[in-house]
A and B are shown apart, each in its own frame.
Chain A
Amino acid sequence: MSSSLAEKLIEELNCETVFTIHLGSLEIPVMESVVVTWIVMAVLVLIAIFLTRDLKTQNISKRQAFAELVYEKLTGIVGGMLGEEGKIYTGYLTTVLIYIGLSNIIGLFGFKSPTKDLNVTAALAIMSIVLVEFAGIYQNGVRKWLHKFTEPVAIVTPFNILDVFTRPLSLCMRLFGNVLGAFVIMELLKIVCPPVIPAVFSLYFDLFDGLLQAYVFVFLTSLYIKEAVE
């Protein structure tokens, strides 16, 4: 029983290579998480295209009203967190928010969440820290960006430098750990007491926690950006 459960969990957690692209002597593996990401992307882009078909300025359709509502709300939330100086990064962070949100809850539709793959969350975190540092350099110039490492006092410089690595690490691990933990708990619940109780918990772990983690990820990234551009 326990060994089969462990096997099942490991099988669920394992990210297999779906196919490999041969580019000359280069072998590029395409993993499951990447394929699911493509599915997520396709769904999102199709929804976006559907929502933004024949937009009008007056007598708008319900579809357009919904699209505008979503746009206003999401960019409002992200833009509010970024502040006035970081506004240009709203587009990217909104994209990340939508992507992580859908990736986290796509498990409900029988796919493996891409965010359950450490490499995906690592990539997200790396992009976040690159964006944060880029924003700092772009806004303040290299000198001031370097000087910021010694603020507020020179003695904290090592910690500030460490921050550049710990921040993406924590972003990556937080997202990965939450999704993984939620998944493991749900699997255990499904085995221990089916069928009603897991459904209730699924609302929390699959839906709420998934969206919350997307929000937290974007929130922290925008916080770092805001700090960098100040």
Chain B
Amino acid sequence: MINVSFWNILWTVVNLLALFIFFKIFFFKPIANIIAKRQEEADEIFKAAEDKEAAADEKARQYDEKLAEAEQEKKEILSEARKSADAQYQQIINDAKANASEIKTAAATEANREKNQIIASAKKEIANIIVDATTKVVGGQTGAEVDSSLFDEFIDKAGE
């Protein structure tokens, strides 16, 4: 019971060390390894999920960018169209204006011409009438020069 035996102590020390080594090999190491391995796997899965999330974010960002681009393009096209429509409108208006003024000018010229023509022909007619009348009144004694002076006189008086 209480007799100290060197061999017994030595045996126990050896036994304990042996048990420690056995436990290390058969219990601590395998379980620690498997736990570390599981941690590693979990980390990997976590990392993969993170990567996927980052990729999804990147894609969403790209889509947003594209959408913004499309929006911008749409705006540009619209403004371009508006600009060209404006230009065309202006062009048409201008054309119409030019046309109208041309027509107006032509009409005025024509009217003027016609008026002059009418006036000229009226003059001629009136002169003829007067000549006729005068001839009739005066008779055929007076020469042509007299006629003409008479006519001019008449015209002048009539013009006053």
Tell whether A169 is near chain B: CB-to-CB under 8 Å. Answer: no
Bound-state CA distance A185–B30 (Å) is 41
Tell whether A150 is near chain B: CB-to-CB under 8 Å. Answer: no
Q: A124 touches which one: B16, B22, B33, B37 (CB < 8 A)?
A: B16
- Contacts known (A14-B1, A15-B1); A123 close to B12, Cβ less than 8 A: yes
For window 138-191 of A, CB contacts with B under 8 Å fall at: none
Tell whether A44 is near chain B: CB-to-CB under 8 Å. Answer: yes
A44→B31 contact, CB < 8 A: no
Residues of chain B whose beta carbon lies under 8 Å from any beta carbon of chain A: 1-5, 7-13, 15-16, 18-20, 22-24, 26-28, 30-35, 37-38, 41
The residues of B that contact A38 with a CB separation of less than 8 Å are 15
Bound-state CA distance A91–B25 (Å) is 11
Q: Can you list 5 A-B pairs, Cβ within 8 angstroms, ordered by A?
A: A38-B15, A56-B34, A95-B23, A122-B9, A123-B9
- Contacts known (A49-B26, A91-B24); A57 close to B38, Cβ less than 8 A: yes
* Nearest CB of chain A from residue B53's CB, rounded to whole Å: 23
Tell whether A37 is near chain B: CB-to-CB under 8 Å. Answer: yes
Comparing A24-32, A192-200, A204-212, A221-229, the segment that makes contact with chain B is A24-32
B9→A52 contact, CB < 8 A: no
The residues of A that contact B4 with a CB separation of less than 8 Å are 118-119, 122
